[in-house]
Chain A
Amino acid sequence: MNAALVIIFLFLLLSLFLGIQAKRGKDMNLEQWAVAGRGFGTIFVFILMAGEIYTTFTFLGGSGWAYGKGGATFYILAYGCLAYVMSYFMLPKIWRYAKEQRLVSQSDFFVSKYQSPALGVLVSLVGVVAMVPYFILQLKGLGIIVSEASYGSISPTAAIWISVIAVTAYVIISGIHGSAWTAVLKDTMILLIVIFLGIYLPIHYYGGFQPMFEAIEKAKPGFLALADAGMSPTWFASTVLLTALGFYMWPHTFGSIYSAETEKVFRKNAIFLPLYQLILVFVFFVGFAAILQVPGLTGSDGDLALLRLSIKTFDPWFVGIIGAAGVLTALVPGSMILMSAATLLANNVFKVFQPNASEERITKTAKYLVPVVALIALYFTFQGGATIVALLLMGYNLVTQLFPALVFSLMKKNFVTKAGAFAGIVAGVATVAAITISETSVGRLFPFLPQAIQDINVGIIALIVNAVVLTAVSAATRGLSAAPQASEKAM
């Protein structure tokens, strides 16, 4: 074992310890375990939400994309920004309703708003399926970090197994309290490390930022802007819009909305979260610095850029610190995802079919489901060769399909019926599935369209299909559903 690995494992142990500490002396029913009894203030909610954003996706995926795709990477800066703008108006409404109805999961929200447990099952399944690629990307990240930091002595496969066991143990032991404390540790570390690397590497290798960018522009003209076709401005705008709409639709992100103490927390956070995005800029600097220093990483190997450059530049002990920060960026969101998936399946799927199950039994089921979900994700992790960002975008395409039904349910007069919501989500998800499985793009479906339209993110097409079906079915079933809409009295 080298110094890098020792340091990484020490941090892993420390985070497990923090998780166990957080659990002590607390009665853990499902509400405690999953939403921490709604007792988190501005700072904790900020950290949890920021923590979900700063995952392996940012650390390795962000630098990997800067390395491999250049200008297209800046979409990551843009979408969060727009999501935070929407959060100011949307989140307080969601929180208020969830608190009144004592909701625990995202699906509960749909069940309650549309008075339909069946819709809850559908929303849970969409959420869980979308979370699988998101979880896979955390595992991939963990695997990359551990195997790179071992300087090849641990294979990526073994590294992924170690990671899965760590995350699973962590979640079963501590629930959301553990996530919050480790998130504090993680955010501090990632902040310091990313800023240091982002400033040090360009200066060390190029003598400054502008010289670095000039060198890249000379070697690869136009790489730092968007392409004319493919990842063009149209791709950028449609992807930013899609991911901004889907931002809070992730079951685990939606769930962390519930953990806030007051609704004001969200409005205040909408001011500061955009600025927090700027950490990404330093991640990008690292990826850009790697382009001319560790050339030749293609495809999903681009995700290795940050670590390869670090190994080339620093001593093993410092690579260990970087690796430890990376492990935490995967562990915190990974644990949130796992927990949300398990809670969803237990509460919104299992309970629907076993309505008489006791609260205790559901909590137990949720805990048993944690390793099951982890193993399923593990299976897919060993299958695919997609980059981290590509995996994330796939999950986003799916989860964004929940947006129309959700946003209409927040309105004072919701014209959407439960059948409409159901049909819209099914149509949207089916479109995403059809497009993903056939590996097609808008351009391949409609080659006669102008290039600008061909580059539209396929998720947007699915979203349009979703909205059209939702509206049509709602209009058709409007008179049929006599059940009063819960939203009308609640808002």
Chain B
Amino acid sequence: MSTFKWLTVLPFIGLLVGVYFANRVTPFVFGLPFLMFWCILWVVLTSIIMAIIYKTDPANKEGDGS
């Protein structure tokens, strides 16, 4: 069990709980309504989090040729 796996709870908190606080049209961020920006932000953060987990997960060190 990698110590970084706890990071996976963050997207759940960000999207399921965060929506209660991010549910607003303004301020516009990068020209987007705030709620839309918030969801996009979490998509990007999720990808980064999964990359960190992938890199630190010993299961991926075994060279299985993929």
Query: Chain A interface: which size bin?
Result: 35 or more
**Contact between B15 and A81 (Cβ–Cβ < 8 Å)?**
yes
A210/B31 contact (C-beta < 8 A), A85-B8, A224-B36 known? yes
Chain B residues 39-53 with CB under 8 Å of chain A are: 39-40, 42-44, 46-47, 49-51, 53
Contacts of A42 in B (CB 8 A): 66
**Contact between A88 and B53 (Cβ–Cβ < 8 Å)?**
yes
Q: Is A233 an interface residue (CB 8 A)?
A: yes
In the assembled complex, the CB of A178 is this many whole angstroms from the nearest CB of chain B, namely 24
A85 to B51, CA, bound (A): 11
Q: Is B20 an interface residue (CB 8 A)?
A: yes
A85 to B47, CA, bound (A): 9
Residue of B23, B44, B64 touching A225 (CB-CB under 8 A)? B23
Q: Is A59 an interface residue (CB 8 A)?
A: no
Size of the chain B interface, CB-CB below 8 angstroms: 37
Contacts of B46 in A (CB 8 A): 81-82, 84-85, 274
Chain B residues 6-30 with CB under 8 Å of chain A are: 8, 11-12, 15-17, 19-20, 23-26, 28
**Contact between A264 and B66 (Cβ–Cβ < 8 Å)?**
yes
Q: Is A208 an interface residue (CB 8 A)?
A: yes
Contacts of B31 in A (CB 8 A): 208-210, 213
Q: Is A241 an interface residue (CB 8 A)?
A: yes
Q: Does more than half of chain B's interface fall in helix, strand or loop, or is it mixed?
A: helix
A480 to B41, CA, bound (A): 50
A-B contact count (CB 8 A): 123
Contacts of A264 in B (CB 8 A): 60, 64, 66
**Contact between A275 and B44 (Cβ–Cβ < 8 Å)?**
yes
A271 to B28, CA, bound (A): 28
**Contact between B42 and A78 (Cβ–Cβ < 8 Å)?**
yes
A315 to B43, CA, bound (A): 35
**Contact between A262 and B65 (Cβ–Cβ < 8 Å)?**
yes
In the assembled complex, the CB of A306 is this many whole angstroms from the nearest CB of chain B, namely 18
Could you tell me which A residues sit within 8 Å of B by CB distance?
41-42, 71, 74, 77-78, 81-82, 84-85, 88-89, 92, 208-210, 213-214, 217, 221-226, 233, 236-237, 240-241, 261-265, 267-268, 270-272, 274-275, 277-278, 281, 284
Q: A221-B25, A225-B35, A261-B66 are in contact. List 18 more A-B contacts (CB 8 A).
A: A71-B35, A74-B35, A81-B42, A92-B59, A209-B31, A210-B28, A213-B31, A224-B33, A233-B23, A237-B15, A237-B20, A240-B16, A264-B66, A267-B59, A272-B47, A275-B44, A278-B44, A281-B36
Between A and B, 27 residue pairs with Cβ closer than 8 Å are: A71-B33, A74-B39, A78-B19, A78-B39, A82-B15, A85-B11, A213-B25, A213-B32, A214-B28, A217-B33, A222-B25, A224-B35, A225-B35, A226-B23, A233-B20, A236-B19, A237-B19, A240-B16, A241-B16, A265-B66, A267-B54, A268-B54, A272-B47, A274-B46, A274-B47, A274-B50, A278-B43
